[in-house]
Amino acid sequence: MAKLFEDTSDAPPQQIDPSARVVGVAVNANVWRTFDYLWPAALGDPLVGQRVKVSFGRGDRKTGGVVVDVDRTPGSHALKPVAEVIDASPQLDASLMALGQWISDYYMTPLGGTLAAMVPSAVGRHAAAAETVAYLACERHDWPARLGGRQKRVLDELLEARKQNVEPLTLELLMHHSGASRDTIKRLAGRNMIRLDTRPVTLPELSETAGKDPFPLNDDQIGVLAALEDKLAGGFSCTLLHGVTGSGKTEIYVRAIRQVAAADKQAILLVPEIALATQTLQRLLARLPRVAVLHSGLTDVQRAFYYDQIRDGHASVVVGPRSAIFAPARKLGLIIVDEEHESTYKQDTAPRYHARDVAVKRASLADVPIVLGSATPSLESLQNVHLGRYELQELPRRVRGLPMPLLKIVHLRKELQVGRIELIGRTLTRQMAATLDRGEQIILLMNRRGFASFVFCPKCKWELTCDHCERTMVFHQATQLVMCHYCQRTAALPEFCPACRGKLLLFGMGIQRVEGELARKFPDARVARMDSDTMTSPKQFQKVFDAFSAGELDILLGTQMVAKGLDFPHVSLVGVISADTSLLIPDFRASERTFQLIVQVAGRAGRAEHVGEVVVQTLHADEPAVALAAGHDYEQFAAGELASRREAKLPPFARMVRFIIRDRQSTKVEQSAIQLAERLRSLLAGAEVRVFGPQPAGVIKIRDQFRWQVLLIAETAGTIQKILRPQMETLCRACGSDVIADVDPVNLI
């Protein structure tokens, strides 16, 4: 790191060095163009992709940026020099720079912020050879009765670590897991309740060897691998691997990656975040050589270490969520996206990229093959097969001749006794009892958090909503508090209706109500709940996961978390408490999501010797998403859904851009939205683009910000961007409120 100049932001910049060159820098700030800076000769030759710090705007603060151009012609006005060079050699090579530029253009997002998001800030800063670690320094019975929630969590984490023989914990992980700040932890050390120490950093190991193949491939798998063989030799190609749940897709990934690694090339495997805490990962680690796993529990030092290993070409395989698609693999030979239909691949803060689509772009820029795998491919990917852009490969059967689980749709209205608030109907209750009698395990899906979704007054119709978000608040049994799921604020449950002093009613359903019902109906069953209220750290997830694997639990009750890629051999019954929670969301993908969710969660049943049974409760048994999921009929569901999307000219037959206008003032946001919509209409006049709105967004207020939207729909990709991308700076600046452009939005509320 070289710090060559004092800050010169207020003083006029001095021309110290006549031999200095002029470079273009994409600054990580909310600006749409790049800026020129002086590059003094003393810094050596500038290189595209090098990260730097520059003074930007007012004040002394230095802002990060990336060199995008090394031969700018000096303009007429005096330039500021680059303040600091972070990387001696570029972190972003030419192909990643090109990818960043594409993301900035396609997703209409500033280049500086995009490039910054592509390199973790810890990379290149790992000079630290020591790290702080924490030990528990007091016995459980000595803990004071009055402890802050965060403090208690710190102590709990350390106690747990001691029990599991993994004490001490690094300060960073302890902060991450407990949610406590550095100061909170230091205060506990000051009270001698914990002890802090420093030790040399431990780096993860990249295991050189890969385990043997545990079983021979079946014919379907052999067929798919043979088809991939040619493609792995090189050149861009995109294969959609549609394999039913339990068909052995992971095995295909493993073999393909090994082949690439054997040719001294690197592979990137993207997985949904949650899969990194499950046995998927263990299986991959055991079978693949030199795997770098970029999970969220890594310390900065570990992450930086992995990036170096990837950049040096030592790591053969990168496994990680979304952002792993930016891993600096220079010898890239293959990209795989598992569960490609997952909406979590879309980033919901800037840059709002879709990791699957970025992966396809990266593969094409790097001229390497890519495989997208799913049991329920997205309609976007399926349509790309129809257009001849992707090649389809199928694994239509489960491994080892296992049958597909048997789905039974039950109509809730016929199932529940009148006058009783019950969520588990007769059929499901009966099947659960039988399953428990046989000593087998059950997974229950209830895709709504909390206990009751409404608190309202039956007399005057008053309803409890969040003061900051205009959404109903959800009652949580465990805390006896109401909570807003948009801003996470909590409040006490009012005793009376504030409007008429009448008695309040708790209404609707949530996972905690199911939990209560389980305790009543199956008092002896060992139940764990898995939702974002109970799973606040990857470690908690791991704990429940391990207990269920070990047969220490009978019932796993969870939100969509339990639908994703879990492989438990002793689960023979899956119950979907309500298929309607996702069906009724006002989003054109509601049907597709419901279908995916049912098929995915059903796929958790019967993965070993037990026959799998699935009970789906619904009030909408005739909906194709529900009825066709019951028959595992992806083809028919997809055909019907594609036909209606074509009719309505919706994705994948069109491309959407959603503008969100945000402001704390409700009148201003409306004004801004009207003006923005007018500008958009005039800019897009004559283009094949439909403009809808302005209108209030589905959720009109989140965290005190009012939200309006304008929706643009074009028939072809890139039409909107071509016209609007060059106008974004003006559009944003002219708008009196905050503007977000979300290209290919997956969330429309």
Question: How many other CB atoms are found less than 10 A from the CB of residue 367?
Answer: 12
For residues 457 to 476, the per-residue mask of contacts with Zn ion, x marking binding by CB under 5 A and - elsewhere, is x-xx-x---x-xx-------
Tokens 């003393």 belong to which residue? Answer: 42
Q: In whole angstroms, give the CA distance from residue 470 to residue 669.
A: 15
Residue 604 CB, nearest approach to ligand ADP (Å): 9
Q: Is 484 in the site for Zn ion (CB under 5 A)?
A: yes
Tell me which stretch binds Zn ion (CB under 5 A): 288-296, 424-432, 493-501, 576-584: 493-501
- In the complex, the residues that contact ligand ADP under the rule CB under 6 A are 215, 217-218, 221, 243, 245-251, 399-400, 567
The angle, 0 to 180 degrees and rounded to 10, between the axes of the packed helices 634-648 and 590-602 is: 170
Q: In whole angstroms, give the CA distance from residue 391 to residue 173.
A: 43
Strands 490-492 and 705-714: unpaired
**217 touches which of ligand ADP, Zn ion, none (CB within 5 to 8 A by kind)?**
ligand ADP
Residue 558 CB, nearest approach to Zn ion (Å): 24
Tell me which stretch binds Zn ion (CB under 5 A): 41-49, 102-110, 454-462, 583-591: 454-462
Residue 483 CB, nearest approach to Zn ion (Å): 9
Tell me which stretch binds Zn ion (CB under 5 A): 59-67, 213-221, 224-232, 502-510: 502-510
Q: For Zn ion, which residue of 166, 262, 433, 499 counts as binding (CB under 5 A)?
A: 499
Residue 699 CB, nearest approach to Zn ion (Å): 10
Residue 151 CB, nearest approach to Zn ion (Å): 26
**266 touches which of Zn ion, ligand ADP, none (CB within 5 to 8 A by kind)?**
none
Q: In whole angstroms, give the CA distance from residue 348 to residue 706.
A: 18
What are the distances in angstroms from CA 581 to CA 34, 584, 676? Answer: 46, 6, 34
Give whichever of 78 and 500 is closer to Zn ion, judged by the CB atom.
500
Give whichever of 36 and 567 is closer to ligand ADP, judged by the CB atom.
567
Phi, psi (5° rounding) for residue 184?
A: -60, -45
Rg (the chain; Cα; Å): 28
Where b means 16+ CB within 10 Å and e means fewer, 101-137 reads ebbbbbbbbbbbbbbbbbbbebbbebeeeebbbbebb
Tokens found for residue 735:
């708008």
Tokens found for residue 92:
């972003």
Phi, psi (5° rounding) for residue 632?
A: 50, 35
**462 touches which of ligand ADP, Zn ion, none (CB within 5 to 8 A by kind)?**
Zn ion
Number of H helices, E strands in the chain: 22, 31
Q: Is 602 in the site for Zn ion (CB under 5 A)?
A: no
**247 touches which of Zn ion, ligand ADP, none (CB within 5 to 8 A by kind)?**
ligand ADP
Give whichever of 153 and 258 is closer to ligand ADP, judged by the CB atom.
258
Residue 612 CB, nearest approach to ligand ADP (Å): 13
**468 touches which of Zn ion, ligand ADP, none (CB within 5 to 8 A by kind)?**
Zn ion
**248 touches which of Zn ion, ligand ADP, none (CB within 5 to 8 A by kind)?**
ligand ADP
Q: Is 486 in the site for Zn ion (CB under 5 A)?
A: yes
Residue 345 CB, nearest approach to ligand ADP (Å): 17
Where b means 16+ CB within 10 Å and e means fewer, 538-563 reads bbbbeebbeebbeeebbbbbbbbbbb
Output the CA torsion sign for 260, 305, 90, 115. Answer: positive
Give whichever of 469 and 530 is closer to Zn ion, judged by the CB atom.
469
Residue 220 CB, nearest approach to ligand ADP (Å): 9
Give whichever of 222 and 499 is closer to ligand ADP, judged by the CB atom.
222
Give whichever of 424 and 566 is closer to ligand ADP, judged by the CB atom.
566
- Residues in the chain, overall count: 749
Tell me which stretch binds Zn ion (CB under 5 A): 12-20, 160-168, 222-230, 496-504: 496-504
Q: In whole angstroms, give the CA distance from residue 234 to residue 215.
A: 28
Residue 249 CB, nearest approach to ligand ADP (Å): 4
**400 touches which of Zn ion, ligand ADP, none (CB within 5 to 8 A by kind)?**
ligand ADP
Tell me which stretch binds Zn ion (CB under 5 A): 37-45, 494-502, 665-673, 691-699: 494-502
Residue 250 CB, nearest approach to ligand ADP (Å): 3
Pick out residues in 33-72 that bind Zn ion (CB under 5 A): none
β-sheet with 130-136: strand ranges across: 169-170, 130-136, 194-200
Q: In whole angstroms, give the CA distance from residue 408 to residue 387.
A: 35
Q: Which residues contact 468 (CB under 8 A, 6 or more apart)?
A: 484, 487, 489, 701, 702, 703, 704
Residue 240 CB, nearest approach to ligand ADP (Å): 14
Q: In whole angstroms, give the CA distance from residue 208 to residue 314.
A: 10
498 preceded by cis ω (within 30°)? no
**683 touches which of Zn ion, ligand ADP, none (CB within 5 to 8 A by kind)?**
none
Give whichever of 468 and 679 is closer to Zn ion, judged by the CB atom.
468
Measuring CA to CA, which residue among 544, 278, 335, 520 is closest to residue 422?
Answer: 520
**251 touches which of Zn ion, ligand ADP, none (CB within 5 to 8 A by kind)?**
ligand ADP
Tokens found for residue 589:
């993908």
**70 touches which of Zn ion, ligand ADP, none (CB within 5 to 8 A by kind)?**
none
Q: Is 454 in the site for Zn ion (CB under 5 A)?
A: no
**245 touches which of ligand ADP, Zn ion, none (CB within 5 to 8 A by kind)?**
ligand ADP
Beta partners for residue 454, in sequence order = 507
CA atoms within 13 A of residue 100's CA, in its CB half-sphere: 27
**486 touches which of Zn ion, ligand ADP, none (CB within 5 to 8 A by kind)?**
Zn ion
Give whichever of 223 and 502 is closer to Zn ion, judged by the CB atom.
502
Output the CA torsion sign for 161, 166, 169, 172. Answer: negative
Residue 549 CB, nearest approach to Zn ion (Å): 36
Residue 445 CB, nearest approach to ligand ADP (Å): 17
**460 touches which of Zn ion, ligand ADP, none (CB within 5 to 8 A by kind)?**
Zn ion
Give whichever of 376 and 453 is closer to ligand ADP, judged by the CB atom.
376
Q: For Zn ion, which residue of 293, 334, 497, 676 counts as binding (CB under 5 A)?
A: 497
Q: In whole angstroms, give the CA distance from residue 544 to residue 566.
A: 12
Measuring CA to CA, which residue among 329, 285, 290, 287 is closest to residue 307?
Answer: 329
Measuring CA to CA, which residue among 675, 714, 723, 674 is closest to residue 694?
Answer: 674
Residue 565 CB, nearest approach to ligand ADP (Å): 7
Q: In whole angstroms, give the CA distance from residue 322 to residue 294.
A: 10
Give whichever of 235 and 458 is closer to Zn ion, judged by the CB atom.
458
Give whichever of 187 and 489 is closer to Zn ion, judged by the CB atom.
489
Residue 671 CB, nearest approach to Zn ion (Å): 24
Q: Which residues bind Zn ion (CB under 5 A)?
A: 457, 459-460, 462, 466, 468-469, 484, 486-487, 497, 499-500, 502
